[in-house]
Amino acid sequence: MKLFIKIIFLLLFSKSAFAYCDLEIVNMGSDIKSLVEKTNFVKTNNIPSSQPDFFTIPVEEFCKDSKFIMFPINFTFINNKLHQIFIEDMLTNINHLDNLKYYYGNPTEEYEDSGTTGIKYYHWDLSFKQVFLVIKYSPTETIQNIEIVSNRFTDLMEKYNEDLEE
């Protein structure tokens, strides 16, 4: 009986040892006000802008797990709607793949180099957005890039850049 209780305790404890963090704290297509309500770091004048608005928030602001520290999360709004979340994590050893699988399921496609230097690429093709995880690694360094992007982001940025050229 004691062994059974110990096994249950270990399973419960080991499950909680990895805390997950929803990096998409507001849904794609949400307005800036939604982000303002979730964090103290974003201040806005609530005037919709025709140019992209960028907000950078420390992950510690909304991920309370102590492992999620030391990297910013960049939010891009176009026409007052969220269209991109970008993260570059060079300092932590968080398993972002497990974290993303928890929220989005298994990747639609993946590629992994097998050597000691290379990349690991994961892509989730979801209904209104795409999620990418690219891990560049070597014996001395690991860089994890995460991008959550609406299916309209590329078209909207191209239109914005064309309007700038005119």
What is the C-alpha to C-alpha distance for residues 124 and 109, in angstroms, rounded to an integer?
7
- pLDDT of 69 reads 83
pLDDT of the chain along its 166 residues, tens only? 554 444 444 444 444 445 689 999 999 999 988 888 888 766 666 555 667 889 999 888 888 777 888 889 999 999 889 999 999 999 888 999 999 999 999 999 999 999 899 999 999 999 999 999 999 999 999 999 999 999 999 999 898 888 777 7
- pLDDT of 50 reads 66
- pLDDT of 164 reads 78
Q: How many CB atoms are located within 10 Å of the residue 148 CB? A: 26
What's the domain count of the chain? Answer: 1
What is residue 124's DSSP assignment? E
Provide the domain limits for residue 9.
2-165
User: Which stretches within 18-127 are classed as H helix?
Assistant: 32-38, 96-104
Task: Specify the long-range contacts of residues 66-71, CB closer than 8 Å, at least 24 apart.
Answer: 67/19, 67/92, 67/94, 68/19, 68/21, 68/92, 68/94
